[in-house]
Structure 1
């Protein structure tokens, strides 16, 4: 797993770390029982504060993605299907909001927009 940090982003660094680990878990890049790098190791690799990586790991644990085993490390938990569904639903909603913003920029009416969606859905079924 590779984590890329952007100092120009408005998203805090700990949140960038957390979101990228969640994406890796949801995409099965990180599977159940996989051990994450230690807090210190990750901080060193990313050249960030240990406090930053600690916050990311605590948030991941609080949200049910990982468990911290004292003295042994941080491990990926089995996927909670409800959490996965909620995360994917949020991703889909964000993409739809982006599409709606483009619709407005292009001055498309609702009918034209829905025709585009219908065409894409039909093309997807035929693949």
Structure 2
């Protein structure tokens, strides 16, 4: 498992870890039952705090993506991929609602917001 941490990103380190492990699971690169590195091992590899790694694993567990067993470690859960996708869609909807609220406060209309979204979406595909 190759996790890259960016110190220049505005995103907290634990959130970067969560996002990358989540992506590996949703893409099927980490399948049900796959063991994850121990909290201490991952912290050592990434040269970060054990507390940060623990927070990332706790978040993944809350999302139902991993299971942690005391004395054995953390493993990719056997959660249904559709269930996981549905959870992610709910989170996306919340973020989009925040974006809509912010755009309204800025006085953007629907067309301006969709133009901005389209531009950013197409820019990311290049």
- Decide: shared fold, TM above 0.5: yes
Backbone CA RMSD of aligned residues: 2.7
Show structure 2 runs of 5+ residues with no match. 101-112, 121-126
Task: Quickly say closer, same or farther: Cα 1:67–1:99, change in 2 above 3 A.
Answer: same
Structure 1 portions without partners, runs of 5+: 106-127
Structure 1 segment 11-26 matched on structure 2, within 5 A: 11-26=11-26
Deviations 1:9-51 (A, max 9, x none): 1110000001100000000110000000000000000010000
Larger radius of gyration: 1
Q: Deviation of residue 104 (structure 1)?
A: 6.8
Which residues in structure 2 correspond to 1:80-91 (within 5 Å)?
80=80, 81-87=82-88, 90=92
Which residue in the other structure is 1:29 paired with?
29
Q: Which residue is 1:100 aligned to?
A: 115
Size of the alignment, in residue pairs? Answer: 102
Cα shift at 1:99:
7.0
TM-score, structure 1 as length reference = 0.70
